[in-house]
A and B are shown apart, each in its own frame.
Chain A
């Protein structure tokens, strides 16, 4: 089973600032918060920015998601989901290496914090 999409042909959605509802969901544990390190998601996400992540078991091609990988958390764009896992790419081709067959999604990036 494969779901994929050509990201270059897609318009990536913007990530809105966290509204009151998102902040309250963070307080009650329904959102996870991460600080971005690195440049691979420019221009959408800059180093030092913080994002809120909605926990989900399954993400789709084109989603910006958080993933567990080798003990770290990655923020990347889903290029495709295959039976072997997620193929992840950065948006900044000059400073990004792709990942294949990543198994563990944490969730979907839904908003930026402030």
Chain B
């Protein structure tokens, strides 16, 4: 009796929702999203480097805008890589590609570094790693998808 009364009292307040479904039921994954964002990081890093010595106020404004875009796109690239890691890749992929864990880890670290610094070499290294993830991803799906860049 007391259990029922307590349960009724507890249920007067809303409980936080826990999801018993997936956040990507269509199963659509593609490293292209990470690649596009990482390309933007590389592009912004190069543009910022080119404006480093300028004292022109318009250049300063652009520098700030590029920094903002670099920050956003690096985070996006990192998120996209982590979604592949947590939602697509499975234990059998790790068995087949034993370096995959380290590759993902290093890529996300590089993307964090690309946010913290203005260093096109770091951004390029992150993009190179995303190409390796691309190769593994499509091989795991049995498809021959060539790597390309938009820029």
Which residues on B are within 8 Å of A, measured CB to CB?
2-4, 6-8, 10-11, 14-25, 27, 83, 85-91, 94, 101
Number of CB contacts from chain A to chain B under 8 A: 106
- Chain B residue numbers with a CB within 8 Å of A35 are 14-18
18 contacts across the A-B interface (CB closer than 8 A): A19-B3, A34-B16, A35-B18, A37-B18, A37-B19, A37-B21, A38-B20, A38-B21, A47-B20, A50-B15, A73-B16, A75-B20, A76-B20, A84-B94, A90-B22, A96-B21, A113-B10, A114-B11
From residue 67 to 106 of chain A, which have CB atoms closer than 8 A to chain B?
69-70, 72-76, 80, 82, 84-85, 87, 90, 95-102
Which size bracket describes the interface of A in this complex? 35 or more
In the bound assembly, the distance between CA atoms of A66 and B16 in angstroms comes to 12
- Chain A residue numbers with a CB within 8 Å of B6 are 20, 23
